[in-house]
Amino acid sequence: MDESEMVVYDVEDAAKEVAKRTGHSLETVEEILEAEFMFNAALGFYEIPDDEEGQEFMEEIRKLQEEHPDLIPPAGVEIEDFDEIEERLVAFVLRQVTGVDSEVVEAVLNEHILYLESKGILEAPED
């Protein structure tokens, strides 16, 4: 992908759109998306810069792995089953965001996926 094809992801815009689509408060959606980001980062889905800020962030990730070993495996251990990842993600978000139930979390996460697909950040699965 060259720069002319690069798609910029703005978490604030995403949160606003997902909140509008789901009817949940912006604050709740932001908290859920932040937890989703941390979970995905802990699973190694994002490339984290190897600078001071990146090292500080990775320390946060290591703490999450220590606090939630039943949900976040140690570095280098992959979870292959998508359904298992999704279940762990929902459980993780429920631990991180107070006052929401699994239906709210799943609605926000599902709508976020649709948002990412609509922006060309994720490819929609083929039927």
In a domain, residue 56? The reply is yes
In a domain, residue 15? The reply is yes
In a domain, residue 63? The reply is yes
Residue 7: band (very low, low, confident or very high) from pLDDT cuts 50, 70, 90: low
Q: Can you give the residue range of the structural domain that contains 98?
A: 3-118
Query: How far is residue 90 CA from its own chain's centroid?
Result: 10
Is pLDDT at 123 greater than 70 in this prediction? yes
Which residue pairs, CB below 8 angstroms and at least 24 apart, start in 6-11? 7/119, 7/120, 7/121, 9/116, 9/119, 9/121, 11/37
Specify the number of domains making up the chain.
1
In a domain, residue 126? The reply is no
Is pLDDT at 74 greater than 60 in this prediction? yes
In a domain, residue 35? The reply is yes
In a domain, residue 123? The reply is no
In a domain, residue 125? The reply is no
Mean pLDDT of all residues in 50-66: 92
Tens of pLDDT along 102-113? 999 999 999 999
CA 45/CA 25 separation, integer angstroms: 27
In a domain, residue 127? The reply is no
Task: Specify the pTM.
Answer: 0.87
Tens of pLDDT along 46-57? 888 889 999 999
